[in-house]
Structure 1
Amino acid sequence: MTKPYLAHIRRNSSGIEQTIYAHLHRVADLMSASAAKMGLSSTARLIGILHDLGKCSEAFADYLSWSHAHPGDYSRRGTVDHSSAGGQLLMQRYGGKSDDKQLVIEIAALAIFSHHTGLLNYIGEHGLMNASGREDAYTFSRRMDKADILTGVNLGYFFENIISEEELDNLFAEAVHELSALEEQIQKQKSDEEYFFYWGMVVKILFSMLVDADRLDSAEFELDDSLTCAWDTESLWEEFSAKLEKKIVGFPISREEKAKKIATLRQRISDDCLHAAEQTPGIYRLTVPTGGGKTLASMRFALAHAKRRHKKRIIVVIPYTSIIDQNAKEIREIFDRDEAILEHHSNVVSEEDNGEDTECMDWRRILTERWDVPVIFTTQMQFLNTLFSGGNSSIRRLHALQDSILIFDEIQTLPVKCTYLFNLAINFLKDFCRTTTVLCTATQPPLEQLDFPIGAGKNAELTTDISETFEAFRRVHIENCCRDGGSSVEDIAAAICRSAEEEGDVLCIVNLTKQARELYQAVSEIAQDSDIEIRTVHLSTKMCPAHRKKVLAEVREELRCRKEHPERRLICISTQLVEAGVDVSFPVVYRALAGFSSIAQAAGRCNRHGELAQGIVRIFAFTDENLSRLEDIQAGQKIARVLLFEKEADVLLSPQVMDEYFRKFYKEQIESRMRYPLHDGNTLLDLLSVNRAGVGVCNQRGDKLNTGFAHAFHDAGRAFEVIDSHAEAVLVPYGAGKELLLAFDAKSEDKRLFYRNMKRAQQYMVNLFSYEIKRFSGMGAVWRTESGVIALREEYYDKALGVQFEEQQNAYCMI
């Protein structure tokens, strides 16, 4: 009997072997099950059974034996190409016969070619050549035409021991039938861009299934343990619903008339959401005034809808890490099932492995990528990375979105450049992956009115009587304090201090971290000379999360004690990080001029629970404010300035005026800005659909195009970033960050300890831009620890301001 070819040898001293038969069939089974509801089970099984065909070779067997004998030595990694053979076999066996067969070959082969590198291009942005004019290594044709791949593969062994030729032919025929049926649905799209974008999403989701199944099986073999959990979601949704209903019933009823009215309105909104859960899966809007209780109302809808429509998970997408802890903590306390809730918002441990072999990766880290739990809280950045970022770790999560309910909190914070990509992706998930989406905000952008509209139905609103609800929630009086030419930092600081002395605690929100720092320092100086006790605090993204949490906790405690200590005052100077969803309530709020949605969110931090008859929100403008690096805020500010001149400030929170603001905002956008423009004049939407740029270059050169698709997945993935930050996380010497600095600076081979420390370290990290790090390096203020983590020296971190450095911009951005 021929010795079986192996897929893996366990890295510990046992040397236990996994056959290629066991690996390929396990991956094929996992993929087939995952793709069944999309009607692509045979296509997925075909990809799974062929993805590691190249391991049926003496060359790979020799490499595997050598690697096991030399643990930790990766010098021969990549010397044996085992991920090209499966795609080449498809072309050799079935190519050139018909368009429907070619469709299967191109989709399956690209997934197989890419499963260690990240998705390749069909055609690159620069055609079949890269920017330097050389043949692009990251293209479909380069891998398909790679020489001497199949010659070393033992196809006789494969067909005799893995799958027979007849079984493979039948599987391929079934895949042809599946993709032909899918083509009938996708061809209904209105434009070429939508048509090819949808096919790109099909490729991505099949690729996601392959990456996940491959890594899961490899991890389970290495750890000798099953790492999947069969959640009984039907029972779980019942349990969570009962606990949420108990929580809602138990809310205390205020005796104060205004607060009692707000509590009644919150209950009505919540009841509307519960009743709307009976509707069919689709895209819905939850338009609720700030302070309207949308966190629990949207969860109430999601749980009832999940029960009714048998959904697998609920994913809550929140714009900023600063409010994930708050929202997730509230839900955790209600559900009381920690193992069923995942918070995924780490930006410390790099997720992108850039094709790193799973043999070299930390297995526990691999398992955190799966999103295989019923309730997930994540950031807008993580969600968009799942859809559009390069590498394999982010896209691995994509297929987990099937049969999910997606709740987007503060949807108006979606970056303008991502608008069309987001709309098309959400439409695809609705049409082909059975997702239900809820877009939550007090300030709904008109995403359904754009050239590539989001597919919300006619009855998309989850609540009724929106205008009346907003009027009933009116808790603030808005004053337009903008002067011609703007106001100086000193003038604004003086006005804030007067308000604190005469009217109570003050929150001031500005657009730039530089403004927050200068205003804090000016207010602190003036407050020292006041006749009353005034405490001044500062919040910005130049403070690590643990520092910000501490300050926010102190702010909440100080506000809570105000009745006991009415003689004291608190002034909080902050960037936008407190604006969306942070549960604080001040009697007076100052807001630097920005878009109306930002002003509305700021107003949501004023008299939030109706404690007063009326709160006060004052809008002001800085002299010579430089927003050139924040295009979305700059555009919103320009429109807000015009509308404030035309209208009374007090009406700007109404749905009618907000709708007018957004219509003007999107009308004034250069159309390409919503397509995700790139520096070379191309757009990401083009690269992920028709790729006119790449096709045009090929036509000019006379290059032969041998695929029906032109997607430049690799180029698009490398170019995509939610925030144009080019930032890197730096560990700061705040709190436990000091001891972590010492731990990272000590040499250690314990990878598990390293990743545990990295998880802890996310609370003590600050993202700094590349130019800031370069300047810090020149000053000797940062160094790279033995573990590779960049660290900041103690004298450069201030207990009030965070990183001691003159910075230019704030990463949080809201239109």
Structure 2
Amino acid sequence: MVLIAHKNHETAEEQELSNHLLNVGRLAAENGSVIKHEETLYLIGILHDLGKADRRFQEKITQKPSMKVKHAAAGAKYFNQYIKQKYDLKGNILKEDYILFGEYLDVISYVILSHHGLFDIFSTHSHENQLVYRMEYDERKDEGIYYFEEDVVKFANEFFQENDVDLSRLITDSFKEFKCLSEKLSSIDETEEHFYSGLKVRLYLSILKNADITDTINAYREEVESLSEEDLEEKKEHYMKAVEQVYAGFSKPVTEIDEVRNRLAVEARDRGRTDGPGIYRLNLPTGAGKTLLSLRYGVHQMKHQNKQRLIYITPFLSVLEQNAEEIKSILKDKHITEHHSNMVRTSEEGETGVQEDTRENMLFQYMMDSWDSPMILSTMVQFFQTLFKEKSNNIRRFSSLANSVIILDEVQSLPIEVTHLFNMMMNFISQVMDSVIILCTATQPVYDSDYIKYQIDYQHRNKKDIVKMNEEERKSFDRTTVSKLNQGESSDEEEITEEILNHPDDSTLVILNTKKAVNKVVEILKAQTSRPVYYLSTNLCPEHRKDIIREIKEKLPTEPVICVSTQLIEAGVDIDFKRLIRSYAGIDSIVQSMGRCNRNGKLEGKGQVKLVKTKKEFENIDVSALKSIKEKVSVTERILRDENAEINITELNDKFYESYFANASENLNYSFGKDMGTAVDLLSENKYLALPSKRRYLNQSFKSAGQMINLIDQETIPVIVYYGESKEIIEELIPMLERVETEYNLEEIDEIKKILNQLQPYTVNLYNLEKLGQAIMSYFDGSINILIEDNYDEALGVIEEASDFVT
């Protein structure tokens, strides 16, 4: 009897189980070659679906598709049983490596067990060690009768013999790879050591899932094909030439700033050609051209250091929109992936393989968010989800970070509570995954501060800064004068609007910490001045914001424009005002904001920056969602207390961060709240949940940690809005969604994916859809959401009640 892995019940096409295991093994090994782990990934690949040999699964796949059958645990059980009964441990493994081999055994077992969904090894819901419990699936008759020995073991033994697989040799060679990986990492304690064990799981699992999904989609014919090595090399050459062409087009340096920029660009190019894997800094003042500089460094890394992709990450959508446009215009390549919003939210994954393993679902997952392009442009939220979240598409993207150049722009925006998670993750990606990480910002956080327990490891400490500038060169980029508004006394919308109206001929940018504060100032200004007043916040979709910024730029040279915005405008947006009013924030945010004032240095004097200590009720930053902003405001307030007259903000950067980390040294592990532990603990030793009598090497609560870690306190929901060109596209999309919900036509899903990509610039991320009630049209059980036209205002964006506004 031929055993089946996949079957198309409409066409009667089938894929044999042995072919699927071999294909996944080969694909996983090929992908694992990037990190030199071919043997380990081949082993995992050929073991992962052994459970499908059970007669119950064969009955399900051939006759009863809706029948629930567990199959993921069998491969792990067979692996453990083989090592216990047949593997010569003493002959193959050194005695001093026994503890490491125990870790290896757990890591491989968990990866196989979890290939249809992460689970907690220990949790509040069970006293059992799930790593052990799940491998005993066939011994619990209340869950149905399984035939592990009769079917799975029999098939596996025959399969390995027929395909000349020497399992003992494969395990020995695989462990050598694992040992080599482990020796690349240095840990200061067991917490860090176990944290890295969890990352080994994520890396292997990511590669396995990609191989499994690719072969499942291609089960009967090739549906998806990766970029060939030759095509990738051509792209690297094209990228490098395109960037060099931009630099060749620059005129000969005339000013001092031009000369500095020119020298920095040459340094970045040369370092891009020679730097090995590691973590580096691009510590440049606003206006020094760090985006183009980092791109030049990155494309030379791809070409000369054979990196497979460049990943550009920024925290702010406004920055991504602008820089993505610039990068695309330079590189002119259709394979650039811009990913900044999960247009479709994936549903929860199960552990039985019932839904996840269908070819249709695999194709849907593959189309979601693959990061297999040579150039990825995305947000810090998406990046963090790739690092920590539990969903399949997040895990799959993780291995795309290997052998890559990862540019983290405006890295200072990361909340302080993720510091230890971030630092250890960056160490792992650079040291194990052979990637180059560039921390880009004008205000570098001191991630190797003595107040931080788990520090970033700049492996090449004497070369950690890609370029260097002396004091005189930095002064040439000084374009503003900074002082306090209202002599540092607390102020609100009245004092702010008075300051603006007192300078009727000057363009003014106001940046405040909350949308409500922005609304208050805009409301007063529109009533008291005829000058153009613009509102900017994330209540506007990206395309809408882009249009407003374009309109502001057109008017700025000749009109005294006023723009009132949340912090989304403070970094990366190429816009230039005479005056800036900024409410107290972190020193990092203030410096970024200053880059929007006299940005191009064309004023006769310097731009004027006023810092505002706001009244408590005006911005109301006491709410939990703004906790990180409040903490930074508090540190800034203390530092500025003794500063009078003109303030040199940039000199206060290191002082700010040292004070910031010192005050929060107990809060760097991402706490989940009182009596709920921390993310670092759940992802390492799991001391509070793991029962001492049932501990193994791995004890993590991977799924719970993934569900609870959020870069922003509340998960947002992407909503498509009616604005500009989106109106026609939405009208085309809605009938398709309705048809797919009733008929589930795969051809329509592919077209929907393309349309959703078109609609990315017309989405707004909202925290709560309940307030909007019937104004939301939902499809696929809330996976795709569209806001009705009346609830999107041409000036203010998303509004809760359309009747409140005259449009």
Report the TM-score when normalising by structure 2: 0.88
Aligned pair 1:692/2:661, yes or no? no
Partners of 2:660 and 2:106 lie apart in 1 by 41
**Counterpart position of 1:170:** 169
Rounded Cα–Cα distance in structure 2 between residues aligned with 1:213 and 1:268:
45
2:9 matches 1:5: no
Task: Rate the CA distance shift 1:154–1:492 in 2: closer, same or farther, 3 A.
Answer: closer
Relative to structure 1, is the Cα distance of residues 266 and 574 closer, same or farther in structure 2, using a 3 angstrom cutoff? same
Q: 2: distance between equivalents of 1:286 and 1:351?
A: 36
Partners of 2:52 and 2:484 in 1: CA distance: 70
Cα distance, 1:620 vs structure 2: 1.6
**Alpha-carbon spacing, 1:409–1:183, altered in 2? closer, same or farther (3 Å):** closer
Tell me, yes or no, if the aligned pair for 2:60 and 2:66 is still in contact at 8 Å.
Answer: no
Partner-residue secondary structure (3-state), 1:767:
strand
Deviation per CA, 1:632-689: give whole Å up to 9, x if none. Answer: 21122122222223235644333x3211111111111152244444453411011111
Q: Which residue does the alignment assign to 1:800?
A: 795
For residues 411-810 of structure 1, the aligned pairs below 5 Å read: 411-449=411-449, 450-456=452-458, 457-483=461-487, 485-499=489-503, 501-502=504-505, 504-528=506-530, 534-559=531-556, 562=557, 566=558, 568-613=559-604, 614-624=606-616, 625-628=619-622, 629=624, 630-648=626-644, 650-654=646-650, 656-678=651-673, 680-695=675-690, 698-699=691-692, 704-705=693-694, 707-739=696-728, 742=731, 746=735, 747-749=738-740, 750-770=748-768, 773-777=769-773, 780-784=774-778, 788=782, 789-805=784-800
Partner residue, 1:35 = 32
Distance in 2 between residues matched to 1:214 and 1:494, nearest whole Å: 63
| CA separation of 1:43 and 1:738: change in aligned 2, threshold 3 A | same
Q: Are the equivalent residues in 2 in contact too, given 1:371–1:400 (CA < 8 A)?
A: yes
The 5 Å alignment of 1:122-141 reads 122-124=121-123, 126=124, 130=125, 134=126, 139-141=130-132
1:385 matched to 2:385 = yes
1:80-119 alignment to 2 at 5 Å? 80-95=69-84, 99=99, 101-117=101-117, 119=118
Structure 1 residue 320 displacement after superposition: 1.8
Give the distance between the partners of 2:454 and 2:496, measured in 1 at CA.
42
User: In the alignment, which residue of structure 2 is the partner of 1:366?
Assistant: 366
Tell which deviates more after alignment, 342-351 or 145-154: 145-154
Deviation larger for 379-388 or 488-497: 488-497
Letter in 2 for 1:306: M
CA drift of 1:311 comes to 1.3
**Residues 362 and 751 of structure 1 are in contact (CA less than 8 Å); yes or no, is this contact kept in structure 2?**
no
Give the aligned partner of residue 71 of structure 1: none
Maintained 8 Å contact 1:50/1:86: yes
Alpha-carbon distance in structure 2 between the residues aligned to 1:55 and 1:17? 14
Question: 1:221 is paired with a residue of what secondary structure?
Answer: coil
Partners of 2:161 and 2:261 in 1: how far apart?
A: 60
Shift of 1:619: 1.3
Secondary structure, aligned partner of 1:361? helix
Helix, strand or coil at the partner of 2:581: strand
1:776 positional shift: 3.1
The residue type paired with residue 474 of structure 1 is: D
Per the alignment, in what secondary structure is the counterpart of residue 430 of structure 2? helix
Aligned to 1:273: 268
Shift of 1:223: 5.2
Aligned-residue identity in percent? 29
Aligned-residue offset at 1:135: 5.5
1:221 to 204, 209, 219: 219
Q: CA deviation at 1:45?
A: 1.2
Question: 2 CA distance for matches of 1:236 and 1:22?
Answer: 33
Q: Measured at CA, do residues 785 and 317 of structure 1 come closer, stay the same or move farther in structure 2, by a change above 3 Å?
A: closer
How far apart are residue 185 of structure 1 and its match? 4.5
Q: Which one-letter code corresponds to 1:228 in the other structure?
A: S
Aligned residue number for residue 357 of structure 1: 356
- Structure 2 partner of 1:59: 56
Cα shift at 1:99? 4.8
Distance change (3 Å), C-alpha of 1:92 and 1:405? same
Partners of 2:344 and 2:368 within 8 A in 1: no
Q: How many residues align?
A: 756
Q: Deviations over 1:462-493 (max 9, x none)?
A: 12224333211001111211455522313311
Correspondence for 2:95: none
**1:345-382 CA-partner distances (Å, limit 9, x unpaired):** 22321246524514141625514533222211111111
Contact preservation (8 Å) 2:119, 2:702 = yes
Please tell me whether the aligned partners of residues 281 and 434 of structure 1 are also in contact (alpha carbons under 8 angstroms): yes
CA spacing shift, 1:543–1:183, aligned 2, 3 Å: closer
SS of the equivalent of 1:433 reads: coil
| Paired position in structure 1 for 2:191 | 193
Question: 1:286 is matched by which residue type in structure 2?
Answer: L
* Greater mean deviation of Cα atoms: 362-371 or 705-714: 362-371
- Equivalent-residue separation in structure 1 for 2:375 and 2:470 (angstroms): 29
Structure 2's unaligned 5+ residue stretches are 90-97, 140-145, 741-747, 802-807
Residues 152, 527 of structure 1: alpha-carbon distance in 2 compared, 3 angstrom cutoff: farther
Report deviation, 1:100: 5.3
Q: Say whether 1:313 aligns with 2:309.
A: yes
Deviation readout 1:410-432 (Å, 9 max, x if unpaired): 01011212111111011111211
* 3-state SS in 1 of match to 2:601: coil
Distance 1:245 1:415 in 2: 36
Aligned position for 2:94: none
Describe the shift of the 1:713–1:497 C-alpha distance in structure 2 as closer, same or farther (beyond 3 A): same
TM-score (norm. length: structure 1): 0.88
Distance 1:801 1:37, change over 3 A: closer
Confirm or deny that 1:23 pairs with 2:17.
no
Cα deviation, 1:306-327, whole Å, max 9, x if unaligned, reads 3332211111111122221211
AA in 2 matched with 1:709 = L
- List aligned pairs for 1:287-366, cutoff 5 A: 287-339=283-335, 341-351=336-346, 354-355=349-350, 356-359=355-358, 360-361=360-361, 363=363, 365-366=365-366
Q: Deviations for 1:367-405, whole angstroms, at most 9, x for unmatched residues?
A: 453322221111111111111111221011111111111
Is the Cα contact below 8 Å between 1:262 and 1:609 reproduced in 2?
A: no
1:478 alignment partner, SS class: strand
Letter in 1 for 2:620: N
Aligned mates of 1:575, 1:16 — CA distance in 2? 55
Aligned partner of 1:809 in structure 2 is none
Secondary structure in structure 2 of the residue aligned to 1:317: strand
Q: Does 1:242 align with 2:241?
A: yes
More displaced, 781-790 or 383-392? 781-790
Gapped regions of structure 1 (runs ≥ 5): 68-73, 529-533, 807-815
Distance in 2 (CA, whole Å) between partners of 1:390 and 1:679 is 23
Indicate if the aligned counterparts of 1:10 and 1:221 stay in contact, CA closer than 8 A.
no
Aligned partners of 2:777 and 2:34: how far apart in 1?
51
Q: Alpha-carbon deviation of 1:56?
A: 1.4
CA displacement 1:120-173 (0-9 Å, x = unmatched): 22333x3xxx1xxx456x932221121254146343333223556962222123
